[in-house]
Every structure is written in structure tokens, then in C-alpha cells.
Structure 1
Amino acid sequence: MNKFSKTMLAVGLAFLYIPMLILVIYSFNESRLVTVWAGWSTKWYGELWQDKQLMAAVWRSLTVAFYSATASVFLAIFASVVMVRAGKFRGRTLFSGLITAPLVMPDVLLGLAMLLLFVSSTQAFGVPTERGLFTVWLAHTTLGLAYATVVISSRLKEMDPRIEEAAFDLGASALTVFTRITMPIIAPAIGAGWLLAFTLSLDDVVLASFVSGPGATTLPIEVFSSVRMGVSPMVNALATMILLVVSLFTMAAWYVLHKQSKRAS
């Protein structure tokens, strides 16, 4: 790596991580004003846990993200099998386009479309009765499905179909082949798709703002609303806690993969 590449790498890393470092430092600021440093303090972490509204938003976001990621991956597995293993059939291009459309569709347009769908469905069938966590879950599942399908279908395309054909020749049923052979091979892609869908749901503001209702405020909307009124040090404390959890999870995953690679070698 030459000097220019090293410099660009350092600039890129600094651009990404210096704002995070500043955020962590100011989460320990004594002052209520985030732009004024008044000494070190951990009081905002204590107030964070006592803020019932913010902690309730955290729990709602985690719940919606978990269920939407699970539903997205479940549907993405079947969509990927149809796209990769079903061969050519009438409407295949339309099916693939509808599945992956949210990848290129602006979030505002997708949110408005989901809102109109829910309003029309309520008027025609009476379901959903109101906009809340259920409608947020449906919207996030639609978004996560597109991303999870891309990840899982890419892994499925790389899988040698002769492995499945050999199992069929030995008398295995389609269900046995899928559960005992296909699923274990594409399991890393399923995990990656689930994490991607979970992150997208946890981070979404636009879709949730269109389809959420009273009592269904997710964490990003809660933070966005509080930031518009002025950044609270509790937001910095919350962001620091999220960074800590993500860092610990990343290090744990790296440690497990490192152990597995050493064991394999």
C-alpha cells in the first residue's frame, strides 16, 4: 500500500469514527447543553434508564425489528428458492421485480404507497383497524424482504445443484433435501439476511413515520423528534450504549470466526 492509499484510508476512517468518538465523549458531559462542556459525569446514563418514554421506544423498536427480520427471512427463503430453483416460468421477471422493487424505490414513495394500502384496506375490509406496531411490522417486513432475498438468492445460486440431485437419487424427499442439505449450506446467508433486515428495521425513520400511529413510536422517530427540539445528552448516552452493544457483538463474532479458522487450519 503506497503513501497516498494509506492517507486516504486514514482520512476515511477518521471521517467515520471521529464523530462517534465525540458523541461518546459528550455522553459523559455534565452540562445539559451538548455544546458546552461542564466536566465529566455519568448522570445522563442514570436518567436514560429512568426515561420511560425513551426506553419504551427502544423496546418497541427491538420487538418490531425482531419480528420483521424473522418474517422477512422466512419469506425470502421461499422467494429465493422460486427465483433460483424453479427455472423459467410465466411471470418470473415480474415476480423478481416485485420482490426487489423496494431496493430501488425511494423510502418516501414506498411509505406513501404503504399508507395508501392500509387506508384502502381499512375502508374495504376493516383491517387493519388502526395504524400501529402491526402496520410498522408489515412495512418493515416488505422492506427487509427485498434485501434478505438478494442475500439468500445469491448464496443459493453459488450452491452446486448436483448435491441436491445426488440426495434425490438416493431417495430423499424434497422436504428432507431442503431441511438437511440446502438449509445448512445457505445458513450463513440466512443469518446475514436476518441481521440486515433487523438493522434496516431498527434504523428506519421514513417508513415508520408514514405507517405508525399513536402509541407506536419507534426509537428512530423518538430520537428524531427529540433532536428537533434540541439534542439531549440522554440521546448521546443512548447512542453510546448502542455502539457498545454493536462493538461487543462484532468482537464476539470475530472471535468465534477466528477460532473456527484456526481450528480448520
Structure 2
Amino acid sequence: MNKNLTWFNVTALVLGFAFLYIPILILVIYSFNESKLVTVWGGFSTKWYASLANNQSILDAAWVTIRVGLLSASLATVLGTMAALTLDRFKKFHGRALFSGMVYAPLVMPEVITGLSLLLLFVAIGFDRGFWTVTIAHTTLTMCFVAVVVQSRLVTFDRSLEEAALDLGCPPFKTFFIITLPLILPGVVAGWMLAFTLSLDDLVIASFSTGPGATTLPIKIYSMVRLGVTPEINAVSSILIGVIALGVVAASIVTNRAEKERERAERAAFAQG
């Protein structure tokens, strides 16, 4: 056995994972419960998943969540990539520390504070809360995560490729799209997936910035839980867990493949040199 892998470490790891994932596993199992009582197993059934197709309020909330997630993730990816490029390429400029702090502030700031500040902003400027305010709020929340992912990719970026393209007469704007963007694309895609996942999962900030006709799925689930947990809630929660898990796995796969391709390219360049 590995010297660093003691029985104490294994036990602590198992207990930690059990504490985190056993409740989720129980929720998924009871989403297939025939009984209306969530604590009493009445047999295996998929009727609660079928009933979701007839629940228009949940379908509307899911559609709002998907639209908000797609749009906010796309906006956050563009803004986060620009911020990462600025921080990576311009090491010294007036206000860099302030700009960096503002970009990364949502990473450490409590979501309650972020949501409340956005609510006060929307009220102050007279912006009616609804779909667009939730989209803006989620873009603000997720942009910093995209910036972190893309900047980590730019750290290992070979600037000589850009310099070669510029020396050959390629304009800077075109160089970015034909040289830089394809090379950092795995990081950009991983950042988009992470932003989309965070948008799907958010409850606190959305509850501050939402309005009539813009109820997201987490808010809908929370309002249903306050009236009592039903197997239908377990079913919709299980679907949401599955979507988020797929997003996280996909982002991890993209990042790992990008890292392997980078290492392979470095080994090939070293062998040729």
C-alpha cells in the first residue's frame, strides 16, 4: 500500500464521500418510488417522470432555466475570455490590481451579497426584473469562473506561434481567430460548460434577480419543497443532478484531452529539436 494512503486516510475519504453522495443516491432511488410517500418504498415505478410531462409549470421553469443558462454561459464565456487575455497579455497597466480583483470578486463573495447588490442595482436604475435580469446576474456570477479556466490554459500557451503569424503579415485580429482561439478552445469550451452548469444550479442569486414570468427550475423546486417533498420533486431533482453531472464530466474530459494534447505537442517539439 502507498505510504501516504493510510487506513485513516481511506476511512476519512470513504466517510466523506458517503456523507456527500449517499443523500443524493437516496433521492435518485426514491424518485422511482411507486408510493406518494417519499419515505415509504412502494415498488419501482417511472410514473413520476411521466407526470413531469404534464406539469406545465415545471416545464416552463425548465425552459426558462435552459434559456438563461445558454445565454448567460455564452456571454460569460466571451467576457471571461477577454478578461483572461487581458490579465495574461498585459502584465503591467494602471489599475491592473483593481481589474483583477473585480474579475475574481464573485469567486469569494457570498452569493447573498452578490444577489442583493444586483437587486439594488436593478431597482435603482428602474430595470424591471425578469428574464434579462436573471441572465445578467448569472453572467456576473459565472464570468469569473470562465476567466480562471481560460487563464490557466493561457499560462501554457506558446506565444511564438502568434509571433510567427504576425511576422508573416497576419493581422492581430485574424491571428487571434486562426491561431490563438483554436489552441485555447478546449479551455474556452470547459469554461462555457462550467458556466452553464453553475447557471442551472443557482438559486440564491436568481431568487434576488427574478421577476414575473422568469421562475427558474431551482426556484420552482424550492417553492414546491416548502409545501412538502413528493416523488415528483425527487424526479425533477434527479434530472437536474444528471444534467449537471454530465456538464461537469464533459468539462473534465475536454480539459484532460487538452492537457494530453499539449503534452503530446511538447514531446513532439522536443523530439524534433
Q: Secondary structure at the match of 1:50?
A: coil
User: What is the aligned partner in structure 2 of residue 196 from structure 1?
Assistant: 194
User: What is the aligned partner in structure 2 of residue 147 from structure 1?
Assistant: 145
Are the counterparts in 1 of residues 134 and 206 from structure 2 also a CA contact under 8 Å? yes
**Cα displacement string for residues 85-142 of structure 1 (whole angstroms, at most 9, x for unaligned residues):** 13311111111111111111111111111111111111xxxxx3x2101000000001
Aligned counterpart in structure 2 of residue 102 of structure 1, from 100, 106, 111: 106
User: What is the aligned partner in structure 2 of residue 21 from structure 1?
Assistant: 25
Match runs of 1:122-201 below 5 Å: 122=126, 128=127, 130-201=128-199
Structure 2: unaligned runs, 5 residues or longer: 265-273
Question: Structure 1: which amino acid aligns with 2:114?
Answer: L
Structure 1: unaligned runs, 5 residues or longer: 123-127
Are the counterparts in 1 of residues 71 and 135 from structure 2 also a CA contact under 8 Å? yes
Q: In structure 2, what is the Cα distance between the partners aligned to 1:155 and 1:254? A: 15
Aligned counterpart in structure 2 of residue 205 of structure 1, from 200, 203, 206: 203
The question of 1:46 aligning with 2:12 is answered no
User: What is the aligned partner in structure 2 of residue 125 from structure 1?
Assistant: none
Q: In structure 2, what is the Cα distance between the partners aligned to 1:163 and 1:202? A: 37
**Cα distance 1:247–1:143, how it changes in 2: closer, same or farther (>3 A)?**
closer
Q: In structure 2, what is the Cα distance between the partners aligned to 1:81 and 1:40? A: 52
Q: In structure 1, what is the Cα distance between the partners aligned to 2:252 and 2:107? A: 27
Q: Report the Cα offset of residue 248 of structure 1.
A: 6.0
The question of 1:69 aligning with 2:67 is answered no
Q: Secondary structure at the match of 2:79?
A: helix
User: What is the aligned partner in structure 1 of residue 120 from structure 2?
Assistant: 116
Q: Does 148-157 or 10-19 show the bigger shift? A: 10-19
Q: TM-score, normalised by structure 2?
A: 0.85
Give the root-mean-square deviation of aligned CA atoms. 2.6
Q: Secondary structure at the match of 1:28?
A: coil
Q: TM-score, normalised by structure 1?
A: 0.88
Q: How many corresponding residue pairs?
A: 257
Q: In structure 1, what is the Cα distance between the partners aligned to 2:63 and 2:207? A: 17
Q: Report the Cα offset of residue 17 of structure 1.
A: 2.6
